[in-house]
Chain A
């Protein structure tokens, strides 16, 4: 049907535009099949809007159609996205698929669409239009990648819970990605019908959407050129098969199937993943996996463009004054089925404290931390954190934005992103948005980027990971992963830092360094809640200690007082007498080297 090479050339670009509409949501880890529906709606809306003559004598008819189409697609995605973006994985895919099918059936049953016969439309799209469109869209995603939005979407894709802990409003960002997909799909719909000169509701079918998805996945959904690579591949395969004389019929789809299988099994990030690992392309935009950076081509802060001094630091949020209430929990309980993880806990944290929370494994420490950070709703009791009263409707990211940063017991790093990119995501709370300014290459965007980068590098420096900045986070040793999580949490410039077993997996030298680091943070005015298994480290580091056992607070007070408390000794040792003697040894040992308090 499309035999000549200029047609093939146009097809690559148009298929690429469609693939970008899948890329737009895949970068946020969302799987949508509704794009055919958005494209269809936009295409038919544009058939009604495209004028015969240039509007006002200057605006070309196609431009009018594109604007109408993109607005239609974005609007449809917004309306659908409000309810459905909270669905995950295949549920989202099936819901959006259902939507697209409904659109198809509704359009077939309208008279103005020409029903099942379709509509003839003027041919307005050739190679130049198609390639300009795909160029603009590709550029958009290149620049989006390094923006605050791009970082947030990559974070959501890699680990949604950790993204929330960084203050990212997951619902809003997912919706933003979905609306972008709607707009791009709308653009495709308009271009497609004005290229094929025919608009038919049945063309925008399930199979059509699946083709678009497959194109994107094969091309790579984590690198901005991926959709174009996928489109080139799928357009080229039949051409190549024809060229080498493979006859139409069963062999061509069979080979296409085999190739698809091979790519999915052996190239997990598609062709884009392959390309971004090679050569210098990886330094181009986007949340490139592994060795790339989410801040592309930004000068490092020590070699600024015009030789001026490094950029001013990001404005730091105000810290609560020492002694002020930071956290207040009263009567907090949490039950899981028949198991009481936390029972009737009262806990107060005041500004400037280093509060240690200890207790045997399974005592309810992590549950308490999850309640405090808004990730678990308590079964009973009241919680107020930095002025935010937690309850059913307060999402975790609000707690993070109020100034609570945390690490997780089992590291929840964005493992496929670089060390630096992890910390850059951590700046979400304090970094200004750069998306639109980046699109226009405004100098202020670059200035902001330099500030953010400087801030992130400073945190890495502080935990001693600056030299590992480009390593994928998942490749770090345990101890380094723990430190990186702390750097990421610090990048948000928190008022309260919650560390959940930061010394797990560290040897005692590393643990001592960590203890030192925590004390310097407190000197800077950050309030710290330290959950730790290493009791010795807690006694050395903290100003106050709370002991949890079997979901209840069994002791609280200054470290050496708690260490002598018979309840604590019993909880840890089972038998009181023998343990007490050893605790005494322990406490006197650390007093001897001067770090104890008496």
Chain B
């Protein structure tokens, strides 16, 4: 039971990271490899706001959300929009987003140096609750709650709002969307902003939960995020959510059952199995696109 709680806790961060990742892929059919740099940036910005600017954490998290959105706009402008309709845009987008991610990390290094940074010990109240014999910290509850609220909010936005309708139109047929008078460039930019906003919050929540942030913190979660969005179905928000939570749970159990050194084999084994058996993923309904 305790393990389930821990699994959901880790899994909700995976899911929040992955849902932003998969949003860009689902709408724009582009893989944004700068997402991991945004994750790290979210963590560092959060620490900066809480420590140097003295912002309370409940204000710092929404600020990170906004900052992440701005980073998303920068990524779209620098790495994706200039590619336009180039025949190799999918491929070039991978490389150009790697480049922009590297630039972000270099700038973080310039500001914060190469060392690990931490929140001050009293940033977050250390309450713990016992529920049905399971110990849950306020931090864990907060992380899970924030993640769920953001993910559900995103899903509702995509399903119900005017912007969401435009995003789905662009996802299905960008040409038709343009014919209808939708400003596809603006929808694209908004998609990147939303994606990166969630990625940055995932970063600050992760930093809170392990109380540390390093420049390299995004790489591992990027690999897992890729596995999650494939398993869940590329572009499927529900798939990323369920996949992220499932991965968190599986990892916790894997550590106790087969040892921590083998933990990561699970994610990638599952990934390859899914790709071979059901390339559209568990929740992907659309035909797998050739990218």
Contacts and interface: CB of A to CB of B under 8 A. Distances in A.
Interface of A: 31, 83-84, 87-91, 93-95, 97-99, 101-102, 105-106, 108-109, 206-207, 210, 213-214, 217, 249-254, 256-258, 260-261, 264-265, 268
Interface in B274-291: 275-276, 279, 288-291
7 contacts: A84-B272, A91-B230, A94-B275, A207-B219, A214-B95, A254-B110, A257-B102
A90 B107 contact: no
A254 B219 CA distance: 18
B223 A90 contact: no
B209 interface: no
Contacts of A250: 106-107, 109-110
Given A88-B290, A101-B264, A250-B107, A261 B271 contact: no
A206 B222 CA distance: 10
Interface in B248-281: 261-262, 264-265, 267-269, 271-272, 275-276, 279
Contacts of B288: 88, 91
B275 A87 contact: yes
Contacts of B267: 98
B182 interface: no
A250 B90 CA distance: 29
B275 A91 contact: yes
B96 interface: yes
B225 to A, nearest CB: 10
A498 B35 CA distance: 48
A137 B267 CA distance: 35
B230 A217 contact: no
Nearest to A216: B95
Nearest to A265: B82
Given A90-B31, A206-B219, A254-B110, A261 B94 contact: no
B88 interface: yes
A265 B109 contact: no
A99 B279 CA distance: 16
- Which residue among A83, A93, A257, A260 has the maximum number of chain B CB atoms within 10 Å of its CB? A257
Interface of B: 31, 78-79, 82-83, 86, 88, 90-92, 94-96, 98-103, 105-107, 109-110, 114, 219, 222-223, 226-227, 230, 234, 261-262, 264-265, 267-269, 271-272, 275-276, 279, 288-291
Contacts of A87: 275, 279
Contacts of A106: 265
B291 A257 contact: no
A254 B103 contact: yes
Nearest to A80: B272
Nearest to B222: A206
Q: Helix, strand, loop or mixed for chain A's interface?
A: helix
Between B88, B107, B268, B276, the greatest number of chain A beta carbons within 10 A of the residue's beta carbon is seen for B268
B271 A95 contact: yes
Contacts of A217: 91, 95
A453 B291 CA distance: 34
Contact of A94 (B98, B106, B271): B271
Contacts of B279: 87, 91
Contacts of B90: 89-90
A261 B103 contact: yes
B96 A261 contact: yes
Nearest to A249: B109
B274 to A, nearest CB: 9
A217 B33 CA distance: 16
Contact of A84 (B31, B227, B275, B290): B275
A594 B192 CA distance: 66
Given A94-B230, A109-B261, A254 B106 contact: yes
A213 B97 CA distance: 13
A258 B223 contact: no
A213 B98 CA distance: 11
Given A90-B31, A94-B275, A257 B103 contact: yes
Contact of B92 (A101, A105, A268): A268
Contacts of B86: 268
B243 to A, nearest CB: 13
Given A213-B95, A254-B107, A257-B101, 17 more contacts: A89-B91, A89-B289, A90-B291, A94-B226, A94-B227, A94-B230, A97-B226, A98-B272, A101-B268, A102-B268, A105-B261, A206-B219, A214-B95, A250-B106, A258-B99, A258-B103, A264-B95
A10 B290 CA distance: 38
Contacts of B222: 206
Contacts of A84: 272, 275-276
Contacts of B105: 253
Given A214-B98, A261-B96, A31 B110 contact: no
A217 B99 CA distance: 12
A31 B91 contact: yes
Contacts of A260: 95-96, 98-99, 102
Contacts of B265: 102, 105-106
